[in-house]
Structure 1
Amino acid sequence: MKRNLYDLCNLIETDLSGYEGEALGELEIQKRKEALRRRAGVSGRRGRRLGTAAACVAAVCLLSQTAFARELAGRVLAMVGLGNSRVVQTREPGEDEPLPEEMRGRLFDQNGRELMTYGEVLRAAGMLYNGEGERIVSFDGEQALTKEEYEEQERIEEENTFTVTDPRLLSDYTTFPVLLPASLPEDIRFSHAKFVRSRDSGERLRWTNLYFVNGKGEEVLLLQEREDSPEMAYVSATDGTVEEITVAGHSAALVNGNEIDFERDGTLLSLIAKAPLTREELIAVAESIQ
């Protein structure tokens, strides 16, 4: 099953089962936006617009900490703890359930009618508007973005993103040790890592994305890494499957059969298959990361 609306909820803080993490870091926000693109059937860089009803329902739940905790209450089916963070399996809201209070009076269809339920957002088929009649093309936190606002965000992010192709240099830019797999499936290799900040600022970052490609240059694996600290803690939720497994002797979460979330040596990792890999292949890659 594809990830549900909770995959894009950022700025989360909840007391579920003793979770005490603070608001999400930028890596988790980007991770959830990537999950939304996969749900919407959109690939490539972040600058692509959201184009399906399912994606818009997901975007609706970019809520504050309190709103997310309230929405999640009563929906938890399973939970796996990963250091300071949690991966949660949930029940998805029904179409007749009302939108969270924070979204009331903020979403309208193309005829100016306010959208009140998750089902109404789905049936709007991606055509969402704000109270001024402007088309909403994306969300950032609780802010609904128009085309102009979205493109400005994209421009700023692109200006502050740089890549590093030498794996020996990756830890020079981070507050934690960047880890790499020692073993990869045949025809897959490390391509580059992305960092978001000015290369010359000297600031060490708390997260990075590592990309792996096949012989055709197509991205087939994404490895997201972050510092394992309360400040970078997160809750990630799905209405798909969450299975607790063991990676290198530590608890890990196998999510929807194509993602493994785990912790190693002070680093939180999310290994995401963007091309078909068997369960055994994905676990073997995770086991080899060091």
Structure 2
Amino acid sequence: MTADDRIISRFNSPSFKEVLGSWHQTRRTLHGLGLSVVDRGRFSNYSALLTAATDGQPHIHQRAPHEFVHGVAEISALGYVVEELVTRKLAKGVEQKLRKVLVGGVVPVELEDGDASRSTLFELLIAASLQRCGLEVRLDEPDVVVSDGVRQYGLAAKRLRSKKRVRQRTREAIRQLRSARLRGLIALDISEVSNPRYDIGFYSDSSTILDDLDHRVSVSTSRWARAIWAEDRAVNVCGCLMFASWPYASMSDQRFGTASSLMVTNTCLEDSGDFAFLHDLALRLQRDGLP
């Protein structure tokens, strides 16, 4: 049985119905902000698939298994963001970002607007996780600004869709931090380069997937290291957080699909106070991870 089959065979379980119930609450909260799900957008499609599955259409997943699994994951992620950045405490700039997420293109085609929407959702996940740590955050350049009560730091969040684009995306993040005149961290979502969704059916067990994930993350980390050290103007970059995850994680018997790899260096820093705060911040995110 593949990971898709193992996960979707449980679509009538209470957990999936809870996801749908939470999604309805998320939509009500968004409506209170004047935001709504775009008709025929990917979240609308995700909602329809999940509703059909929980209403007893046992073969719904056979038409679009990856779309179904990915949909549950994205709906859950958006719900987490809304709960943390809207319900618990309204973060500055979150409405504009949420609007960008909701207008994302249809699935499963990775249209340009859909890709931008997923990139924005990653930024919001970072911000929500930081706010959950008890820090002050706002959605502003470079992508997320976090404060320790005295100084402000930036996080430039980037999604990678190809191993060949590591240096390009790293340069973009460096430029963002420099333009914002903030020191900070680069947060890289390497889900696309570490995602085994195309060949996951060939794995025999989750330990094999873990071994392969470690290899993929290691490759991506080494590429990032080469990219960052190739930039002689990266003096404001204190380190990098790398997140590798895919939708199978939260719905599997074991959380084999979620991992984070951390690289933080103080060689670019002049102020040890910066490093101490950012190192602590990085460790918090590594410990708690993303939902």
TM-score tier, shorter chain, comes to under 0.3
Q: Give the TM-score normalised by structure 2.
A: 0.23
Between Structure 1 and Structure 2, the one with more helix by share is 2
Q: Give the TM-score normalised by structure 1.
A: 0.23
More relative contact order in 1 or in 2 (CA 8 Å, sep 6+)?
A: 1
